[in-house]
């Protein structure tokens, strides 16, 4: 937050990096529309294929230092919302909500203090990534 406050022009790239780094949808299933061979594996029309968005967004052949959070990462061709004709219809709204939240936190000077790592609890579904519990203190008192 300190970096974004001092470099607010990074908000758009930071939004993309947050989405890449912690994909809310980890795995998504599709049915193959036609027969094909991919990496030596035969996939037949109708077969269920699992797409690992979370893994793809950490692919070291695509992203330099994929496990690092880089607010200025560019390019950032993550697959968090899918791609092409299967791009999530709500992707633009999700990006806007995240950007507005970050900009509001910056403008108000709010300070965030997350609870301890032990207090966090992740949801147990394997296909979606999200916190079931996130203790967070938001201090909105101006310090200057």
pLDDT tens digit sequence for 97-137: 999 999 999 999 998 888 888 888 888 877 788 888 999 98
State how far the Cα of 107 lies from the Cα of 104, in Å rounded to an integer.
5
Class of residue 118 by CB neighbours under 10 A (exposed 0-12, middle 13-18, buried 19+) = exposed
pLDDT at 71: 97
> What pLDDT, on the 0 to 100 scale, is given for residue 142?
66
Secondary structure of 22-89 in HEC code, one letter for each residue: CCCECEEEEECCCCEEECCEEECCCCEEEEEHHHHCCCCCCCCCCCCCCCCCCCCCCCCCCCHHHCCC
pLDDT digits (tens, 9 = 90+) for 8-53: 999 999 999 999 998 888 888 889 999 999 999 999 999 999 988 8
Coil, strand or helix at 11: helix
Taking a C-beta distance cutoff of 8 angstroms, is the pair 6, 111 a contact? Answer: no
* pLDDT tens column, 101-110: 999 999 999 9
Question: In terms of Cα–Cα distance, which of 24, 57, 48, 16 is closest to 126?
Answer: 24
> Does residue 1 carry a pLDDT above 70?
yes
CA distances from 87 to 6, 14, 59, 84, 118 (A): 33, 20, 20, 6, 35
Please give the Cα distance from 58 to 78 (Å, whole number).
9
* pTM for the structure as a whole: 0.83
């Amino acid at each position: 937050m300190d970096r974004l406050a001092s470099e607010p022009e990074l908000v758009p790239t930071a939004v993309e990096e947050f989405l890449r780094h912690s994909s809310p949808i980890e795995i998504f299933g599709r049915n193959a529309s036609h027969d094909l061979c991919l990496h030596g594996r035969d996939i037949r029309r109708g077969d269920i294929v699992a797409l690992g968005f979370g893994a793809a967004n950490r692919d070291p052949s695509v992203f330099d230092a994929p496990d690092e959070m880089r607010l200025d990462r560019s390019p950032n061709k993550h697959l968090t919302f899918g791609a092409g004709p299967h791009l999530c219809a709500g992707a633009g709204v999700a990006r806007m909500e995240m950007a507005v939240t970050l900009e509001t936190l910056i403008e108000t000077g709010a300070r965030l203090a997350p609870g301890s790592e032990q207090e966090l609890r992740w949801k147990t579904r394997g296909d979606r990534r999200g916190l079931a519990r996130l203790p967070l203190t938001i201090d909105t008192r101006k310090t200057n």
